[in-house]
Amino acid sequence: MTKYQTIDVNGLNIFYREAGDVNKPTLVLFHGFPSASHMFRDLMPALADNFHLIAPDFPGFGQSSAPLHTEFDYTFDHLAKVMTAFLEKLNLTKFYLYVFDYGAPIGFQIAMTHPEWIAGIISQNGNVYQAGLGDKWATRQDFWDHPTAEKRDSYRNAFAPATIKGQYTFGTEPGKVSPDGYTLDIAYTQTPDYAERQLDLIFDYQNNIKRYPQFQAYLREHQPKLLAVWGKNDPSFIYPGAEAFKQDDPKTRVELVNSGHFALETHAQEIADLIKEEFAE
């Protein structure tokens, strides 16, 4: 049974889902954009017999506090610091880590800072390599190199309803994606200041790419057991990003599933089975 809880972290209410037996190994699940911990709603029950599962919503996402962007630094470095404090408050200092999309730079920054915490990593379309960047990133590079208010405004289409639905359905078989996830994500876009905080994060994403060499150095030095399971039809983080983990971490297993960016929407059970094969005790 999944429980839904909130904890105060540095004055922020951080919402999280919890399932499974606390005596089992812990698996922390970090969501991506434009979603929140509800993206794990099918995966968590499939893993609850084998793991103690914790899935938080980042600040500014889902049910967690969302301070105004003028009062809170919406950067990935700051989100990683808040999530570090969240883990410390729950006394989670040894766990498996599942990272997806935005969760990857946040999770890898934590892993790099606290390598002793990490028992293993599942990266599901969670990229830390140039090889994994799809075509859209060239346009973003121009925005980062030559930012203007007009270019910033153009990225409001990143969270338009049609764009969000497309993130869920592109690269998937017709009729296989439930509307539940993208409908909730679209609803969250209507919350106050949503656009501005997300635009801040889009601009800051450039710093994640600059940290890729540091993340890769962490993998080479510590070589955690790593499962890279990828929706192979994802246009944002293309599957060579999954294969690239092998060049730095020989303990990597790569599995490609016939899905898009939100692979859990169509392949939650298959991904759960892979996680159990690799990490369940």
Q: Catalytic residue positions?
A: 261
Cα 201 to Cα 23, 59, 156: the distances in Å are 36, 12, 12
In sign, the C-alpha dihedral spanning 188, 194, 195, 200 is negative
Phi/psi region, residue 223 (left: phi>0; alpha: psi -120 to 50; beta: rest), is left
**How far is it, in rounded angstroms, from Cα 196 to Cα 99?**
24
CA-nearest of 98, 63, 258, 262 to 178 is 262
**How far is it, in rounded angstroms, from Cα 112 to Cα 222?**
9
Are the beta carbons of 172 and 125 closer than 8 angstroms? Answer: no
Q: What token pair was written down for 43?
A: 């995966």
